[in-house]
Homo-oligomer: A and B are copies of this chain.
Amino acid sequence: MHGAVIYGKGDVRFEERDDPTISEPTDAVIRTVAACVCGSDLWRYRGIAEVKKPTPIGHEYVGIVEQVGEAVTSVEVGDFVVGGFTYSDNTCPVCRKGAHANCQNGGGYDGCQAEKIRIPQADGTLLATPGQPDEDLVPSLLALSDVMCTGWHAAVSGGVGPGKTVAVVGDGAVGLSAVLASVQLGAERVIAMSRHADRQKIARDFGATDIVAERGDEGVAKIREMTEGIGADVVLECVGTEDARSQAVAALRPGGMMGVVGVPHGGIDIEQMFWDNKGIHGGVAPVRAYLEQLLAMVLERRITPGEVFDLELPLSEVAEAYAAMDERRATKVLLRP
């Protein structure tokens, strides 16, 4: 089979790789229906994170089960499955608390931008759809693999709910998903921070009540203007850079809560946050904790998180997918084998 391999900065190749096999009785192997490129994949593509040796890449997928290990009971050959960008057993004490990203028998993937994928802990990771889903649902199902659940995790971590004013920092696929999550979780007001017309449109489609195009201090001033001068009840930080984190803290009101899912690349003055009574919670999303609920919402066509995909390419053109996202010609690229 073929799949994407990253060799170094700006160098992703589509090449022949060994077919994945069942190596543990809890494994499944799936034939990929769709995969995609994540903002976090770009850290290596841009040379910010090191690539020590050629490495299969990608961690988002939907597919059809092709093989299962003998211990697997919840999915069968032929099932259409969605699963998270981390795998989890869904039974350990940590999973039972809903913190599947920190599963005692879990881990992450690399190599899902490929025709076939080995899924460890298949029972605790994958969820089968009832029958084969309609073709037009594929992008939204794929979005559940990471960005939608990550945006949802930001909102849950920030305590989004009825009556809350939420500001979302970051207008990438995760930020947009956080807007959608906040609306679905009943926030009174959802302010998307974005200066790109196409992303503003998606934010509006997802239910954002306000758009702030200004960035940095000006953006913060605008948020304060909209909130009696004090800042938002909840700020969702979906970028991770030092600038984004500072902006998020500044846009938060005293006593407010920051939901964070952007991989941190910069500190936070946690002592000052104490004096301002500002909280912070979040991390890598526990996809499996949210998957059932969000899958149902997609299948009922109540949410269409797949709107974040604005370019579709054959998997064989994965190198172009990286280039398009790197050059911001696309928000998020869907790949089909």
Contacts and interface: CB of A to CB of B under 8 A. Distances in A.
A94 B267 contact: no
A301 B263 CA distance: 48
Contacts of A98: 255
Most buried by B among A97, A257, A282: A97
Interface in A96-123: 97-99, 101-102
Interface stretch (A48-56, A273-281, A304-312): A273-281
**Number of copies of this chain in the oligomer?**
2
Contacts of A263: 274
Contacts of A283: 273-278
Contacts of A260: 274
A331 interface: no
Contact of A276 (B102, B229, B256, B273): B102
A178 interface: no
A270 B267 contact: yes
Contacts of A157: 279
Interface residues of A, number: 38
Nearest to A253: B97
Most buried by B among A257, A274, A286: A274
A98 B233 CA distance: 11
A138 interface: no
A93 interface: yes
A22 to B, nearest CB: 29
Interface in A278-328: 278-284, 286
15 contacts: A93-B229, A93-B230, A94-B255, A97-B253, A97-B255, A98-B255, A102-B254, A102-B277, A260-B274, A267-B271, A270-B270, A274-B283, A275-B283, A276-B283, A280-B280
Interface of A: 93-94, 97-99, 101-102, 157, 227-230, 233, 253-257, 260, 263-264, 267-268, 270-271, 273-284, 286
